[in-house]
Amino acid sequence: MTKAKVTLLGYVPTEGVPEPEKHGAATFLVEHISRTCSHQIVRHRLASFSQESQRYVDLKKGGWEPVIPPAIAAKPQARAVLDEAWDDLQTAYRQLREMGIRKEDARFLLPNAAETRLVMTLHYPGLRHFFWLRLDKAAQWEVQDVAHQMLRLIYPLAPNVFQDIWDIYGD
Amino acid sequence: MPDVTLLSYTQMDVEHLADTPIPAGAGTLQENLIEYAGRVCYRSDAKMGHNPTFIDLRVREGHEDIIEHVRFIFRVQGQPLDREVLKLVSLPTVEFTDLGNGEWIFSMNARNVRDFWRSSDSDLAVQFARLSAPITPAVFRDLPGLEEALI
């Protein structure tokens, strides 16, 4: 289980449009994911992204929790190691900020576990490619969950475009 | 002169967006989507709709990724395969279908519409911008010659 949350913000209807699998598109809000996950998502270069900035948003504003991998969460000793490291990094970040270090430099201490969120728009060719790669059982658990949530949201709106993917990965 | 029709563009279901600040925006729904994308970057969601020039300012400073979240689908008739079409389809994220006999389907985002308008003095570029402008006026306000479309 991840805490990732995907919301469909908008989509481009394709009723009556020739080759809807080329011209449709969807926009998602992806929240509560790690920077590890977002690094994978933003490699899909055909997509458009707006991601929360660590240059402009201060950690001390709150709302950034570490994303904990299930394998670490399941092992109390491992969890304790991660929690301690996270606390130390937060303390160090705050100390740098109190010394007048700018957010863009203090953020060098933020780990991949740091939570982020982004708005992402993909046309259907790009989204189909994203699904084939990220729904695969070999994909990383967090991005796999994000892709599943996206598929559940977009499939009912464009079943013909995503039927082959739904047949394999749908609920 | 090619005949251009707007077939479809980004739609939003406000009821499903009640958990987001998008309905609080002061523009068209599509402008609110763009503003929200920008505010996600700065975590300034609480200020949605407070600044009517938010999008204009972001576009002016070059933060144009936010306008990519709105997309349009156009039908074009009477347009030969010429240099302008090649210019258009070479823009990233523009998709096209060649229906033959000068008929095309083009889909693109608002940034593509602006980029094409800037790089081409063709009637095609002007028509795309004219049809897109009423959907997201703030994105096109600075382009000369579109005043009529923005009323």
pLDDT tens sequence across B68-121: 999 999 999 999 999 999 999 999 899 999 999 999 999 999 999 999 999 988
Question: Could you give the angle at the alpha carbon of B132 between the alpha carbons of A121 and B54, nearest 5°?
Answer: 65
- Does residue B76 share a domain with residue B61? no
Is B2 at the interface with chain A, CB within 8 A? no
Q: What is the pLDDT of residue B52?
A: 86
What is the average pLDDT across A83-93? 94
Q: What is the pLDDT of residue B121?
A: 87
What is the average pLDDT across A46-69? 87
**Chain B hits for A119, Cβ within 8 Å:** 36-37, 40, 69
How many other C-beta atoms can be found within 10 angstroms of the C-beta atom of residue B70? 30
Q: What is the pLDDT of residue A63?
A: 63
CB pairs under 8 A between A and B: 109
By annotation, the residues of A acting in catalysis are 134
Best of B31, B69, B114 to substitute, by most chain A Cβ atoms within 10 angstroms, is: B69
Quick check: A48 and B92 CB within 8 A? no
Quick check: B10 and A56 CB within 8 A? no
Q: What is the pLDDT of residue B92?
A: 87
Q: pTM score, two decimals?
A: 0.95
The tokens for A137 are 């059982």
Is A61 at the interface with chain B, CB within 8 A? yes
- Does residue B80 share a domain with residue B52? no
- Does residue B97 share a domain with residue B61? no
Position B94 in a domain: yes
Residue A128 has pLDDT above 60, yes or no: yes
> How far is B137 from B151, CA to CA, in rounded Å?
9
Enumerate the H helices of A5-123 as residue ranges.
Answer: 20-23, 35-41, 70-73, 76-98, 103-106
Least confident residue range of A140-144, B53-57, B112-116: B53-57
State the ipTM, two decimals.
0.95
- Does residue B95 share a domain with residue B57? no
Structure-model confidence comparison of residues A59 and B43, the more confident one: B43
- Does residue B97 share a domain with residue B48? no
Q: Residue B21's domain spans which residues?
A: 14-66
Is B101 at the interface with chain A, CB within 8 A? no
- Does residue B130 share a domain with residue B99? yes
> How far is A106 from A100, CA to CA, in rounded Å?
10
Under the banding of pLDDT at 50, 70 and 90, the label for residue A62 is low
Helix, strand, coil share (%) of chain A residues, nearest 5:
50, 20, 30
Domain CATH for B95: 3.30.70
Quick check: A52 and B97 CB within 8 A? no
- Does residue B105 share a domain with residue B60? no
Measure B82 CA to nearest chain A CA, in Å: 21
- Does residue B129 share a domain with residue B78? yes
> How far is A105 from A101, CA to CA, in rounded Å?
6
What is the average pLDDT across A94-109? 94
Number of residues in chain B? 151
Quick check: B69 and A27 CB within 8 A? yes
Residue A60 has pLDDT above 80, yes or no: no
Task: Return the residue of B nearest to A57 by Cα.
Answer: B42
Task: Return the residue of B nearest to A120 by Cα.
Answer: B69
